[in-house]
Structure 1
Amino acid sequence: MGRIRAAEGDRASERFGERIGRFRADDTLPLYLQLQGLIRDAIQAGIAPRGSGIPAERDLAVEYNISRITVRKAIEGLVEEGLLVRRRGAGTFVAGRVDKVFSKLSSFTEDMAARGRVASSRWVSRTTGPVTPEEAMALGLSPGTPVLRFTRIRLADDEPMALEFSTVVGDGLGSTDDVGESLYEALDRAGNRPVRALQRLRAVPIRAQHARMLEIDTGDPVLLIERRGSMRDGRVVEFTRSYYRGDSYDFVAEL
């Protein structure tokens, strides 16, 4: 059985090597940079499509007649660039990065639909209760004011992309059950969709509990976005904190 798996791995590596090309005899770059260049060019050309797997280090080492240390160095560089992503127990894959444009106020569901990806949610909790001091500051509410809270994992094509904590003013929606896939769609139906927002972005290390939800390692860098969404009359209706996987998202601002 072990020989069968090894043979299958060798054949997969050979097919990958045939697609991305071989080292050039006249190339004087270090071998790890040459391998990086081949894989990077294949990703950019669509030869190695988003979400596709990369052969194991040992298979690439045999295919290109180089050491596993050289392969590992090449792969680690591409992971740092955000072109590849490692998934525990599964292997290494071409990252499916998403550009989030800051100049447009849109929901996660709308962002994914615009990119041809299917958005979904894995609900963690839907609750109601009195506003916390932090929420009161963000929403401009008095102590004790009721709010609705939504915690969920946001997925694109069934891959975890973000962990989202949203708080909505109590009269912004009828109940927590009003929210399906899109919070903004629910707010729109209620006539309370935000038309402008103040957003703050910073990089933070992910905590263990949150890392498990996003299927990444504890301490991995994530992008924390804090957003306060306001209606036309200036009232803040939504306060959301989202942790986006650093290996999956690019944030773009047009200046």
Structure 2
Amino acid sequence: MNQKEHILPADLFMDLERSGPMPLYFQIAQRIEKAIMGGDLPAGSRLENEVALGERLGLSRPTIRRAIQELVDKGLLVRRRGIGTQVVHGQVTRRVELTSLFDDLANSSQKPSTQLLVLQEVPADTNIAEKLAVAEGDPTLHLRRVRLADDVPVAVLENWLPAEFLDVTSDELTAYGLYQVLRARGVTMRVAKQRIGARKATTDEARLLEIDRSSALLTMDRTAYDNSGRAVEFGHHCYRPDLYSFEVTLVDK
């Protein structure tokens, strides 16, 4: 995506206290945050690079870098490899319910899209056979996709489906969420077993999600069952934690 850099107006930084007690990086971060919250830096806009901003303000690159990192840590900015620093489109908060990421993004007024990486028939290994309750070596459909929100990669989704879904097409998977595709085939999703965790990104995941190598990722393993108790999909998904979180409601019994 070749997006023009958004040059911050000089008057945004006119009142910097260069010899005051408040660190300069913190003052810079405050003013950029104000521009984001006020709409002067809209979601998806790309900031000018650290060197250029530092030269305009007469400040060192480490000072600018630390200011930017403050806002990255807050979830307001995101660094994208090969693109630069962008204003975050808004974090997706997902309730731990039986929904698809595609639906969650659409419901949060973000435009979901998909890059299909793998769509192939593979024999079930020991783990997949156990998850889907099929025999080892039985045919399954293996999917691997990148899910994007407003053209920003949010998650890498890997799924395995039993043999009856081998006819799922690439056109379906790029236009719709997986659960939409299954529902269109008459599947009624009823319950799922799910485990949420965290780990470091692999080199390939970092490339696909446009993050630094070995960055932290949220993970989710899920086996979903239909209303007859049959396993209809197993998925291993990983998410960027700066753009995505899970929400759980706890009730005291």
TM-score band by shorter chain is 0.7 to 0.9
Give secondary structure in 1 for the equivalent of 2:189: coil
User: Who is 1:53 aligned against?
Assistant: 46
User: Who is 1:117 aligned against?
Assistant: 110
* Kept after mapping to 1: 8 A contact 2:91/2:242: no
User: How far apart are residue 165 of structure 1 and its match?
Assistant: 0.6
Which digits, 9 at most, give the CA deviation of each residue in 1:193-227, with x for residues without a partner?
42322222222111112222222232121111111
| Gap change, CA 1:147 and 1:174, over 3 Å in 2 | closer
* Kept after mapping to 1: 8 A contact 2:17/2:24: no
Aligned ranges 1:1-255 → 2 under 5 Å: 12-13=7-8, 15=9, 17-18=10-11, 22-23=15-16, 28-171=21-164, 173=165, 175-177=167-169, 179-180=172-173, 181-255=176-250
Give the alignment's TM-score, normalised by structure 2.
Answer: 0.84
CA distance in structure 2 between the partners assigned to 1:73 and 1:53 by the alignment: 17
Aligned residues: 244
Identity value in percent = 32
CA distance in structure 1 between the partners assigned to 2:65 and 2:198 by the alignment: 26
User: How far apart are residue 27 of structure 1 and its match?
Assistant: 6.6
Give secondary structure in 1 for the equivalent of 2:122: strand
* Kept after mapping to 1: 8 A contact 2:12/2:31: no
* Kept after mapping to 1: 8 A contact 2:50/2:65: yes
User: How far apart are residue 63 of structure 1 and its match?
Assistant: 4.1
* Kept after mapping to 2: 8 A contact 1:184/1:193: no
Structure 2 residues not aligned, in runs of 5+? none
AA aligned to 2:213 is T
| Gap change, CA 1:89 and 1:187, over 3 Å in 2 | closer
